[in-house]
């Protein structure tokens, strides 16, 4: 098949990793995917791309400016699309879904993917109106969890078709480290071997609460690693500079070393999450995850074998729970959960859906 992904993003995150991983596997199986736009990591997977610069992803501060730029962006996109052979289009951000689906649907079926919970409040209601109209041009909406699918169904009604495919991890490539692997990882990161390591991985965005990870580091009796990039990087780096044994690494291309070095991971998001790939990566390495109900991934944490903290838990309660996790070896338990989400089955489920819309 000849799928065309229409996506523009400059910061690596779970949604970006999803697209690169999916189309690398489908490329290995004989498909010829093409990206219109930009995704960090796409070309590193050996995948083809044509540049198409779009406005930033829509959040509260960028929606209005982004909407004003849509006519010009649609004109540039039409020029590109008219030159392509395509079996289906794949879009996954509100900007592309609302702004471009009608245009794309004139050429080939359009598939949407939803990674997070739908925005609440007046802004969510306004966005929902445009989303519902645009959804008439989607052949299917793939959601990463039942909770995300429920949000989407409330907005779009009985149509279009909605499918749930939970995120995945390559359990053949990512495995729990042995003692030597862990020692090598800590040497590579400059971490003392005898200190417990707390890991935080994510986009440095207010909703992800990287600042709270720094607060945890102040009371954590070991090393804290904060990995990721985003708008709060300067603020987080300045705050962490005052904390002994707290390290802000920025974006890390190869995260396996981080998980091999870690003893436990903190997931501090305040909501809007669908099915974060970082949870799968941690579990594949045998690393337990601690989070709270505010993250909207409470069901996932329970499936992994962890009872989430109550929303609004204090730093002290978080640290106590993180330390308790160290005293209980759950590597086998979380690894088994990861194996239930292996990437090969996940990719095949996607391809079955793509074939069904042609």
Q: Which strand (E) or helix (H) includes residue 288? A: strand 288-291
What digits encode the pLDDT tens for the residues 44-60? Answer: 999 999 998 887 777 66
What digits encode the pLDDT tens for the residues 306-348? Answer: 889 999 999 999 999 999 998 888 889 999 999 999 999 999 9
Evaluate if residue 32 carries a pLDDT over 90. Answer: yes
H-assigned helices in 177-288: 179-189, 210-219, 233-240, 256-261, 277-284
Confidence of residue 193 (pLDDT cuts 50, 70, 90): confident
pLDDT recorded at residue 326: 87
- Report, as an integer, the average pLDDT of 244-272: 93
Name the strands in the sheet holding 3-8, side by side, starting at the edge strand that comes first in the sequence: 48-50, 34-38, 3-8, 88-91, 110-114, 140-143, 161-164
- Report, as an integer, the average pLDDT of 201-209: 94
CATH number belonging to domain 3-168+342-357: 3.40.50.2000
Across 30-34, 249-253, 272-276, 306-310, least confident range: 272-276
Nearest CA among 120, 117, 141 for reference residue 276? 117
- Report, as an integer, the average pLDDT of 94-120: 92
Boundaries of every domain in the chain? 3-168+342-357, 179-339
Confidence of residue 241 (pLDDT cuts 50, 70, 90): very high
Confidence of residue 2 (pLDDT cuts 50, 70, 90): very high
**pTM of the full structure:** 0.79
Same topology, domains 3-168+342-357 and 179-339? Answer is: yes
Evaluate if residue 160 carries a pLDDT over 80. Answer: yes
Evaluate if residue 220 carries a pLDDT over 90. Answer: yes
The number of CA neighbours under 13 Å toward the Cβ of 5 is: 28
What digits encode the pLDDT tens for the residues 278-288? Answer: 999 999 999 99
Within 10 angstroms of residue 65's Cβ, the number of other Cβ atoms is 11
140 vs 11: which has the higher pLDDT: 140
Residue 142 and residue 114 in contact, taking contact as beta carbons nearer than 8 Å? yes
- Report, as an integer, the average pLDDT of 123-127: 74
Evaluate if residue 66 carries a pLDDT over 70. Answer: yes
Percent of the residues in the chain that have a pLDDT greater than 90, as a whole number: 75
Please tell me the class of the 179-339 domain: alpha beta
């Amino acid at each position: 098949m000849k799928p065309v992904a229409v996506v523009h993003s400059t910061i690596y995150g779970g949604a970006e990793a999803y697209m690169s991983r999916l189309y690398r596997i489908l490329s290995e199986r004989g498909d010829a995917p093409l990206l219109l736009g930009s995704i960090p990591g796409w070309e590193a997977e050996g995948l083809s791309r044509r540049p198409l610069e779009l406005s930033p992803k829509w959040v509260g501060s960028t929606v209005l400016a982004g909407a004003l730029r849509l006519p010009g962006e649609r004109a540039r996109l039409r020029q590109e699309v008219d030159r392509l052979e395509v079996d289906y289009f794949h879009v996954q951000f509100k900007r592309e879904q609302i702004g471009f689906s009608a245009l794309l649907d004139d050429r080939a079926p359009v598939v949407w993917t939803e990674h997070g919970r739908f925005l609440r409040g007046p802004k969510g209601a306004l966005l929902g109106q445009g989303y519902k109209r645009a959804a008439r041009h989607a052949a299917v909406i793939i959601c990463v969890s039942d909770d995300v699918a429920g949000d989407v169904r409330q907005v779009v009604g009985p149509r279009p078709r909605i499918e749930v495919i939970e995120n995945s991890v390559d359990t053949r490539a990512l495995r729990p480290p042995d003692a030597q692997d862990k020692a090598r990882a800590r040497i590579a990161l400059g971490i003392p071997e005898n200190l417990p390591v707390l890991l935080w991985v994510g986009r440095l965005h207010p909703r992800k609460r990287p600042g709270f990870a720094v607060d945890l580091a102040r009371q954590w009796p070991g090393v804290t690693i904060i990995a990721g990039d985003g708008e709060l990087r300067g603020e987080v780096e300045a705050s962490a500079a005052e904390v002994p044994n707290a390290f802000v690494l920025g974006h890390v291309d190869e995260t396996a070393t981080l998980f091999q070095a870690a003893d436990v991971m903190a997931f501090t998001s305040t909501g809007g999450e669908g099915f974060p790939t970082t949870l799968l990566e941690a579990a594949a390495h045998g690393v337990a995850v601690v989070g709270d109900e505010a993250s909207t991934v409470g069901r996932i944490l329970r499936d992994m074998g962890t009872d989430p903290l109550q929303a609004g838990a204090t730093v002290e309660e978080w640290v106590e729970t993180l330390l308790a996790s160290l005293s209980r070896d759950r590597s086998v338990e979380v690894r088994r959960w990861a194996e239930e989400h292996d990437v090969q089955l996940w990719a095949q489920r996607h391809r079955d859906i793509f074939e069904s819309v042609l």
